[in-house]
Amino acid sequence: MSDFNTALADMPAGEGQARRRTMTLNMGPQHPSTHGVLRILIELDGEVILKAAADIGYLHTGIEKQCEVRTWQQVVPLTDRVDYLANLSNNLCYCLSVEKLLQLEVPARVQWTRVMLTELTRINSHLVWLGTHALDIGAMSMFMYCLREREEVLKLFEMFSGQRMMTSYFRIGGLALEPPRGWQKAIGKFVNMMPDRIDFYENLLTGNPIWNVRTRGIGHLTLEDLLDWGATGPMIRAAGLGWDIRKDAPYSSYEKFDFNVPVQTDSDVYSRYLVRIAEMRESVKIMKQALEGMPEGPWQADAPQVVLPEREKMKTQMEALIYHFKIVTEGFTVPAGEVYQAVEAPRGELGYYVVSDGTSKPYRIHMRTPSFGNLMVLAPMIENRLLADSISSLGSMDFVLGDTDR
Amino acid sequence: MLTDQVKEMRVTKALEAALPGVIADGKFAFAELTLEIAPGRIVEACAFLKNQDRFIRLAAITCVDLYPMEPRFEVIYHLHSMPRPGITEDERLRLKCRLAGEAPAIDSVCSVWRAADWYEREVFDLFGVSFNGHPNLTRILMPTDWEGHPLRKDFPIHGHKYDYKSE
């Protein structure tokens, strides 16, 4: 580009015309490659982006405000809607933080089921990311292949919770429903199918010369910059630091699972792709371990003040009926205090900061969402680089605008 | 005041030794450490924790409105230090600054972590706390012509009444 720029600068300016002209381009809010409603203001000099500024907030729905007028259990469905591709990660993070405040220990079977389904969520999210990212770069068929497998994931979600996307399957103190009969067979089938499918994606992309040219060396940022700008998750792991909350501060019995944290060092779009592909394989590994070692036991905690009683008990026992009535009408109280719980969501660190004032409604919930932090990196990642590369850089950040705007 | 348990923690000792009097209060609950910092000294406390101590990462900045209590606002900083070459523990620290309800303002920590940029804008947008020295303190989530700060406790959940007739 430098030769072209020098030539442009040396060109004689016309009468009343500036020597160098830049163009301001409005990308979005409904641009297909922005994956939602993100608006980016770009100042262009020819093909080079001089300055970029992201404008967010188009999907702001005031979820944090709404949480303050719901009872503790009623907040769970709202957390689904924060990141609509990683809803179970959000459910998990919220439930863990409230359980921490309640000092409630959930049974091993619940913890393992949560791990299994959260990993399934990670595969779901990465599949949508891979499909759309490849679509942006021009590999259209990937989108169909990825959504084919995602359909299987959604069927599993539907089997467990009755819902394909907004599952709300994890509740404070356990699960929403008992895992359905025959889930082992369905999960087993998926776990056996998935590694071959990931090989198939890699066959199409990893060695593909067009893919390599479009992604290698693009969107590079140093690890220090990424950390300073607030990026988390696969972006950090693609820059050489093997930081994964599942390993460093295990929650929900992740310490009992054997898995690796994939790390790459190039910190470009290609290495982010490699990290996410490897993460899908690790997720399949974790799901397999959860399937094989799933402990027996109850699917809800033994906490009658918090967990709804079984339907049958409610019809035959006075106490169960009273608890049911109280939990449904006024909710349960949570001791006053504040906690911050972080989990490793598909996009990075998801943290819920929950403040309770001892009543049956949350006083304040702040969601530290991974997309919000990751999107701050946008400007340094695409500035002073080619406009065409900004599309693959954007895709490699893997943000969800619902997650950013809440 | 500080309990013995909080006083004995590594971060408390380091911070108190480097910047005496900066810690106004602190508590350790649910295995999480919270230190209350004098609002005027937040930038030097953060700069010390990032540059001389190990908290290289700012996870988030947020705010809690304690309306009608005074001081009304609590600005919360979530700091994090992940295991990396030379450091084995995963450490989290929460800093808290209390601000009065009348024209709440605090110094920006953008000069310490660039990640503070959007988080401070978010707190400004939703709570109306202004950050002195912030490079671009504008609304980020709400429309630019929005009136009021929605996450304040005295902001009604259904929003302000909208008069359709006057349109």
On chain A, the residues whose CB falls within 8 A of the CB of B109 are none
Question: Both tokens of residue A187?
Answer: 């999960």
Residue in B with minimal Cα distance to A227: B57
Instruction: Residue B53: give its domain's CATH number.
Output: 3.30.460.80
CA-based nearest residue in chain A for residue B127: A65
The DSSP letter of residue B88 is -
Q: Which residue has the tokens 């972590």?
A: B113
Of B64, B117, B142, the CB nearest to A57: B142
Question: What was the pLDDT predicted at A111?
Answer: 92
> What letter would DSSP give residue B28?
E
Q: What residues in chain A have their Cβ under 8 A from chain B's Cβ atoms?
A: 56-57, 60, 62, 64-66, 68-69, 100-101, 227-230, 241, 243, 248-249, 337-340, 342, 349, 351, 353, 355, 363-364, 366, 368, 372-373, 375-376, 405-406
Determine the Cα–Cα distance for residues A186 and A256; give it in Å rounded to an integer: 23
Question: Does the residue B156 lie in any domain?
Answer: no
Asked if residue B139 belongs to a domain, the reply is no
Element (H, E) at A99: helix A87-102
B114, B119, B142: residue with CB nearest A228: B114
Terminal-to-terminal C-alpha distance of chain B:
55
A52 is written with which tokens? 């970029």
For chain B, list residues whose CB is within 8 angstroms of any CB belonging to chain A.
29-30, 32, 34, 56-60, 62, 64-65, 76, 78, 82-84, 90, 92, 94, 113-115, 117-119, 126, 139-143, 150-151, 155, 157
Q: What are the pLDDT digits (tens) for B59-83?
A: 999 999 998 888 889 999 999 998 8
Buried b (16+ CB within 10 A) or exposed e, A165-191: ebbbbbbbbbbbeebeeebeeebeebb
- Mean pLDDT estimate for chain B: 86
Q: Is B95 within a domain?
A: yes
Which two structure tokens, joined as six digits, stand for A258? Answer: 């054997």
What pLDDT sits at residue A24? 86
Domain hosting B112: range is 4-132
Question: Could you tell me the domains of chain A?
Answer: 2-55 (no CATH), 71-405 (1.10.645.10)
Among A366, A369, A372, A374, most B C-beta atoms within 10 A, so best to mutate, is: A366
Please report whether residue B140 resides in a domain.
Answer: no
Residue B109 placed within a domain: yes
Tally: H helices and E strands in chain A: 18, 8
H/E run at residue A191: helix A183-205
Alpha-carbon distance A7 to nearest alpha carbon in chain B (angstroms): 35
| Residues of chain A positioned with their CB less than 8 A from the CB of B60 | 351, 353, 366, 368, 373
Are A57 and B113 within 8 A, CB to CB? no
B32: in domain: yes
Considering only the beta carbons, identify the residue of A57, A355, A363 that sits closest to B141.
A57
Is there a contact between B59 and B80 (Cβ–Cβ < 8 Å)? yes
Tell me what pLDDT residue A88 has.
Answer: 92
Rounded Cα gap, residues A163 and A154, in angstroms: 8
**Per-position pLDDT tens, chain A of length 406:** 344 445 445 555 555 555 568 888 888 777 666 677 888 888 888 888 888 888 888 888 889 999 999 899 899 999 988 888 888 999 999 999 999 999 988 999 999 999 999 999 999 999 999 998 888 888 888 889 999 999 999 999 999 988 888 888 999 988 988 889 989 999 999 999 999 999 999 998 888 898 998 888 888 889 988 999 889 999 999 998 888 999 888 998 899 999 999 999 988 999 999 999 999 999 999 999 999 998 988 888 888 888 888 888 888 989 889 988 988 888 888 999 999 999 999 999 999 999 999 889 999 999 999 999 888 898 888 888 888 888 888 888 888 888 888 8
Cβ neighbors of A364 (< 8 A, separation 6 or more) are A64, A68, A353, A354, A355, B64, B65
Please name the residue ranges forming H helices in A230-268. 234-237, 245-248
The residue among B140, B149, B160 with the most chain A CBs within 10 A of its CB, best to mutate, is B140
Residue A201 near residue A192 (C-beta atoms within 8 A): no
- Flag whether B122 is in a domain: yes
Chain B positions in Cβ-Cβ contact with residue A65 (cut-off 8 Å): 150-151, 155, 157
How far is the C-alpha of A173 from the C-alpha of A289, rounded, in Å? Answer: 23
* CA–CA dist B160, B155 (Å, integer): 8
Decide if A57 and B139 are in contact by the 8 Å CB cutoff. yes
From A42, A50, A102, select the one nearest A73 (Cα to Cα).
Answer: A102
The question of ipTM being above 0.85 is answered as: yes
Task: Tell me which of A357 and B158 has the higher pLDDT.
Answer: A357
User: CA angle at residue B9 from B20 to B3, to 5 degrees?
Assistant: 80
Contact B141/A406, CB-based, under 8 Å?
A: yes
Digit-coded pLDDT (tens) for B76-116: 999 999 888 888 888 899 999 999 888 899 999 999 998 89
Nearest CA-CA partner of B115 in A112, A196, A229:
A229
Residue B82: list chain A partners with CB under 8 A. Answer: 241, 243, 248
β strands within B1-89, DSSP E = 23-29, 32-37, 57-65, 73-81
Cross-chain Cβ contact A228/B113 below 8 Å: yes
Number of domains in chain B: 1
Backbone angles phi, psi at A352, to 5 degrees: -110, 125
Residues 6+ apart with CB under 8 A from B163: none
Task: Say what percent of chain B tops pLDDT 70.
Answer: 94
Sequence-ordered list of residues with C-beta below 8 angstroms from that of A316, at least 6 positions apart, any chain: none
Tell me whether residue B119 is in a domain: yes
Cα–Cα distance for residue pair A52/A268, rounded to 1 Å: 19
Q: What are residue A340's DSSP bridge partners? A: A353
CB contact under 8 A, B60 and A353: yes
